[in-house]
Amino acid sequence: MSAASGPHSHRDDDLGLCQCGQSGSGTVLVLGVLAVIVVLAVALAALGAAHQARVQAQTAADLAAIAAATALRDGYPACDVAGQVVARNGGQLLTCTTENSGIVRVTTAVAPALFDGWMMGPGQGRARAGPAASIPPVSVPTG
């Protein structure tokens, strides 16, 4: 088995297989696989951050609604209390409405910690709280 010299030489390996133009192809393949892994890892991290923001926003909304309904019952400004509770939970109070029946509805938002909300909006949470007497009964089908 003879091999010519030069940049475009034709070489056979010990098994007689041609290794024409294969120099560095493994490196390119490994770099491509690593790039795909990095992109998937970043996407998974962004998805996790968005989910965490949504959970945090819902928690802040639940707590704010309960605190605001209690404040409304006790004669305090319900939406001010809701705003304080949401801020303490790392969120922003988007809406707060009170009804004559004592029900308070709140909507909150929390920006994802990762990428500062890049390519995704904030996680939002909605909650309602108030006296049990103001909630309409749920009909349960029988039999």
- The dihedrals phi and psi of 109, each to the nearest 5 degrees, come to -140, 145
pLDDT of residue 135: 61
Count of alpha carbons within 13 angstroms of residue 25, beta-carbon side: 5
Mean pLDDT confidence for 66-95:
95
- Is residue 112 within 8 Å of residue 43, measured between CB atoms? no
> Residue 13 pLDDT > 70, yes or no?
no
Supply the pTM of this predicted model. Answer: 0.70
Distance in angstroms (rounded) separating the CA atoms of residues 88 and 29: 49
Distance in angstroms (rounded) separating the CA atoms of residues 51 and 47: 6
pLDDT of residue 1: 47
110 pLDDT band, cuts 50/70/90, is very high
- When the pLDDT of each residue in the chain is averaged and rounded to a whole number, the result is 84
Distance in angstroms (rounded) separating the CA atoms of residues 113 and 136: 38
> Residue 69 pLDDT > 60, yes or no?
yes
First-to-last C-alpha distance (Å) of the chain:
87
